[in-house]
Structure 1
Amino acid sequence: MKSFNTVLKLSVLIALLAAVAAGSGLLWQGSGDSYPFTTLRGETVMIRGHGLYRYDTVASSSQEIGQDIVTLLVGIPLLVYAMLRTRKDAMRGKLLLTGGLAYFLYTYASMSFLTAFNAFFLVYVALFSLSLFAFILALMALDPAEVAAHIGERFPRRAITTYFLVVAAFLALAWLGLVVPPMLTGTAPAGLESAITMVIQALDLGVIVPTAILTALLLRKGNAWGYTLSLVVLLKILTMGAALISMIIVQLLSGVAVDPVVTAGFGVISLSGIILAAMTLRTIND
């Protein structure tokens, strides 16, 4: 319990700052119309033109608003619940807290690097930094052998192993199919918008895909770290999956054209991850 004390203190700051950042993203709407903008690649995109995300494109700002909704309604409440459970030394709380911190780390790393500069830039950076160190400390405080000892017999090891391999394959195929052809032809990849590079794809291909594969391999061997990582990543997917679904809905409501195949794939993977995470959470004995 002692090693989680610093994590709890950092988590309080993360919850407070995230409430300010996400709340501002939803409430700061302002006035103005979207307008066309020609990118460095010579493509025309529509800039939102109002609110906190006024310098982001309509497509990217729709995703940011969808993310803000889930951060306020799901991410922060789950983080607070996890903190309360962790204070009682509950294993379920420790795992929820670590997975929740992974969600905030991914979210605000993305916003620090991808969101157009605005008045909350330093808040995004602070959340990115706090989440990074809190996540590292939380993961270090988890004893894999202790985690494995708290897992019940109904833990769906094969289903989780298969799920992570499917996620890794889907992300690899989706993102490589998006970025490799433009690399060969010298054109701009779809979805680049007003950004200068593909941030989300870099994070997914460089971090999420290797983590999913490593976790699946360790879990298949029955390694204690496999159980620990699978639970942490699944609980991160619990919130991130909800955020992806929210992003898709807000984009569609905003009239943003989306790839139906990739969107459907993300929707199925997100929903499946949420269900699998909820099922797995019930197998952890406190």
Structure 2
Amino acid sequence: MKNPKITLALISLIIILSAIASITGIFSSDGFESFTFESIHGEETIVYGKGLYGYMPEDVAVQGIAQDYVTLFIGIPMLIIGMYFSLKGSFKGRFILAGTVGYFFVTYLFYMLMAMYNEYFLIFVSLAGLSFYALAILLLSFELKSIRSLFNSDTQVKLPGIFLVINGFNIAFLWLSIVVPPLLDGTIYPSGLGYFTTLVVQGLDLSLLLPMSIIIGILLIKKNSYGYLFGPIYLVFLSILMVALVAKIIAIGLTGGTIFPAVIIIPLTMIIAFYSAYSLIKNLNS
């Protein structure tokens, strides 16, 4: 692996800072009583009122805490395992590490942009930046010309590719069903916007992550070298992200929120993502 010392330093910082942020998010409880806040659009929102996410809407705060559990008990161990095997020269370890770093980048990019300003803002900024540069270094460590030779000749890439294409369009249509109807009937602002200034999740998904899923899927189907590079990495990232979304669904359900049809779609997507990632990575030559 190229630049192992730099990569190790970046990953170590990500582990330390994300552990601090996650533990604080899970266990902090100081604050004030929850209260109802009326947004500029006249929509009433229950503010959570305690801990790191005290000024977040209640339904969003509990999702943040649920994801902190996933980051702490799944994301960080995967960083450690991936880094350990990467340093030993394992390509499987390097793909897993890159996909996991991708999860940290997307997670803290959302935290940095979406969480109400709090004392951990600079930690979120640092984690987004550190994981971005760590991911860039990891991607550049692969030799694109020889990437296909890392996989066994009988590796099946068509089904994982089709899954990535379907996943991209599926979530895109879901988000557009929220954004487009208010534009057509003149109300403009979607229900559930609350006191957020914009739809951060939908915006980043529709502009970056979902087109990326579709493009990588097409490249995999065509057996393009970029597909072999980005396919396993994106699938590892997506697998961890889906675990986080399942945790969020459980948190919403426990607070009495509506979880259908997400309670069916997200776990199914998680299972397929896991299988697709495993099917590619197991066929990597040692």
Answer yes or no: same fold by TM over 0.5: yes
Give the distance between the partners of 2:231 and 2:195, measured in 1 at CA: 35
Sequence identity of aligned pairs in percent? 29
* Structure-1 separation of matches of 2:264 and 2:240: 18
Q: Which amino acid aligns with 2:200?
A: V
Return the letter of the residue paired with 1:232: I
In 1, Cα distance between the equivalents of 2:65 and 2:279?
29
8 A contact 1:15–1:76 mirrored in 2: yes
Q: Structure 1: which 5+ residue stretches go unaligned?
A: none
Cross-structure match for 1:149? 149
- SS of structure 1 residue aligned to 2:193: coil
Please tell me whether the aligned partners of residues 169 and 214 of structure 2 are also in contact (alpha carbons under 8 angstroms): no
142 and 240 in structure 1: CA distance in 2 versus 1, 3 angstrom threshold: same
What residue number does 1:226 align with? Answer: 227
Aligned to 2:63: 63
What pairs up with 1:87-126 in 2 under 5 angstroms? Answer: 87-126=87-126
Distance 1:148 1:8 in 2: 26
CA 38–168 in structure 1, closer or farther in 2 if over 3 Å, else same? same
How many residues align structurally? 285
Secondary structure at the residue paired with 2:37? strand
Residue number in structure 1 paired with 2:159: 159
> What is the CA-CA distance between 1:161 and the residue it aligns to?
1.2
**1:268 matched residue in structure 2:** 268
Displacement of 1:190 in angstroms is 3.0
CA drift at 1:140: 1.4
Aligned residues of 1:174 and 1:262 also touching (Cα < 8 A): no
| Distance across 2 between alignment mates of 1:98 and 1:229 | 10
1:282 aligned to 2:278? no
CA offset digits 1:49-84 (Å, max 9, x no partner): 111111001111111011100000100000011110
Residue 17 of structure 2 corresponds to 17
Give me the whole-angstrom Cα distance separating, in 1, the residues matched to 2:153 and 2:138.
25
Map residues 64-79 of structure 1 onto 2, 5 A cutoff.
Answer: 64-79=64-79
Contact (CA 8 Å) 2:19, 2:72: kept in 1 or not? yes
Q: CA deviation at 1:263?
A: 4.4
Q: Which runs of 5+ in 2 are unaligned?
A: none
Q: Indicate whether 1:235 and 2:200 are aligned.
A: no
Deviation at 1:115, TM superposition (A): 0.5
Deviates more, 1:129-138 or 1:1-10: 1-10
**What is the letter of the counterpart of residue 187 of structure 2?**
G
Distance in 1 between residues matched to 2:74 and 2:125, nearest whole Å: 21
C-alpha displacement of 1:32? 4.3
1:254 aligned partner:
255
Post-superposition offset of 1:146: 3.5
What SS is found at the alignment partner of 1:36?
A: strand
The answer (yes or no) to whether the contact 2:162–2:218 under 8 Å persists in 1 is no
Structure 2 contact 35–49 (Cα < 8 Å) conserved: yes
Distance verdict in 2 for CA 1:256–1:34, change over 3 Å = farther
Structure 1 counterpart SS, 2:3: helix
- Residue matched to 1:29: 29
Q: CA RMSD in A?
A: 1.6
Distance 1:128 1:232 in 2: 18
Hey, what's the Cα distance between the residues in 1 that align with 2:268 and 2:190?
24
The alpha-carbon deviation at position 166 of structure 1 amounts to 0.9
Q: Pick which of 32-41 and 76-85 moved more.
A: 32-41
Aligned-pair CA distance for 1:221 = 1.6
- Report if the CA contact (8 A) 1:151-1:285 is conserved: yes
Q: 1:189-216: per-residue Cα shift (whole Å, max 9, x none)?
A: 1332321101111111111111112112
Q: Which residue of 1 aligns with 2:179?
A: 179
Describe the SS at the equivalent of 2:155: coil
Quote the Cα distance in structure 2 between the aligned partners of 1:255 and 1:33.
Answer: 19
Equivalent in the alignment of 2:215? 214
- Residue identity in the other structure for 1:162: I
Measured in 2, the distance between the counterparts of 1:237 and 1:74 equals: 13
How far is the alpha carbon of 1:89 from its aligned partner? 1.2
Deviations 1:231-269 (A, max 9, x none): 1101111211111111111111122234x1244322321
